[in-house]
Amino acid sequence: MRGVRNSGPRTPVSSFNGSTVGAAASDPIVRLFESMRPDLLRFAHWLARDRAIAEDIVQEALLRAWRSREALKDPAAARAWLLTIVRREHARLYERKRLELVALDDGVEPEGMPSPPGPDSELDSLRGAILKLPLEYREPLIMQVLGGFSTAEIAQELSLSSTAVLTRLFRARNKLRTLYGLTPAPDDSESEGVA
């Protein structure tokens, strides 16, 4: 998927393809975008749950960002801007292709089997549990915690009401509480209230 793009000759495709070369390397906006790549990849990876798909999403997002670079008025806002483009690219891909994602349950160990001991086993369990959250809960959680988006920003991006976003964030964490043997808090929010 990567490498071949219908972009104009002046678009520095190569700069978004792993190695920054040529005149584009000296372009501050290219450097800025490239410096965000690991963050974008991590963000996309959590959304897509697949490293290869995440890399494609980031590649496409960076090209879109390059084409729309005039819209970025403040370089300090680049991270949030790029993360938004990545999220939209993921949504676009998800809607367009209805990707056949790995069924996480297939990889789940039988209940009762001890997990390998180690200082990170609890964190690994949490990572696994986050991956198993439905996208409607995982997405706002990732946007909030990893992306640094406010509830209002998430609501705007997901076309939801602020109440709906709060409910989804609450439910996401409430589900993860059980991982620690804590009783889930009563969920009194009957509906989310769509914007």
Partner 1 sequence: MNHSEARLMIGAEPRSSSAELAEHLATCPECTQFQREMTALDNNIRRALEQGPLPVFGPSASVTPISNARTTRHRKRAGWWPGWALAASVAIASLLVIWVLRPTDTLAHDIVAHVEFESASWSSKEPASAADINDALARGGVALDMGSDRVMYAHSCWFHGRLVPHLVVHMPQGPITVIILPDEKVKHRTSFHESGISGVITPAPHGSIAVLAQGDENIDAVARQVQKSVHWLQ
Contacts with partner 1, residue ranges (CB under 8 A): 19-20, 25-26, 28, 31-32, 34-39, 42, 45-46, 49, 51, 79, 102, 104, 106-109, 111-113, 115-116, 119-132, 141-142, 144-146, 148, 151, 165-167, 169-171, 173-174, 176-177, 179-182, 185-186, 188-189
Residue 6 CB, nearest approach to partner 1 (Å): 27
* Distance (Å, whole) CA 73 – CA 133: 35
Q: What is the DSSP string of the chain?
A: --S-----TTS-GGGGTTS--GGGGG-HHHHHHHHTHHHHHHHHHHHHS-HHHHHHHHHHHHHHHHHTGGG---GGGHHHHHHHHHHHHHHHHHHHH------GGGGPPPTTPPPPPSTTHHHHHHHHHHHHS-HHHHHHHHHHHTT---HHHHHHHHT--HHHHHHHHHHHHHHHHGGGTPPPPP---------
Residue 51 CB, nearest approach to partner 1 (Å): 8
Residue 160 CB, nearest approach to partner 1 (Å): 12
Considering the complex, state which of residue 57 and residue 142 has its C-beta at the smaller distance from partner 1: 142
* Distance (Å, whole) CA 8 – CA 12: 9
Considering the complex, state which of residue 13 and residue 141 has its C-beta at the smaller distance from partner 1: 141
Residue 79 CB, nearest approach to partner 1 (Å): 8
Residue 128 CB, nearest approach to partner 1 (Å): 4
Considering the complex, state which of residue 1 and residue 18 has its C-beta at the smaller distance from partner 1: 18
Considering the complex, state which of residue 25 and residue 72 has its C-beta at the smaller distance from partner 1: 25
Considering the complex, state which of residue 95 and residue 188 has its C-beta at the smaller distance from partner 1: 188
CA 68 to chain centre: 20
Q: How many CA atoms lie within 13 A of 140 on its CB side?
A: 26
Considering the complex, state which of residue 39 and residue 136 has its C-beta at the smaller distance from partner 1: 39
Residue 12 CB, nearest approach to partner 1 (Å): 14
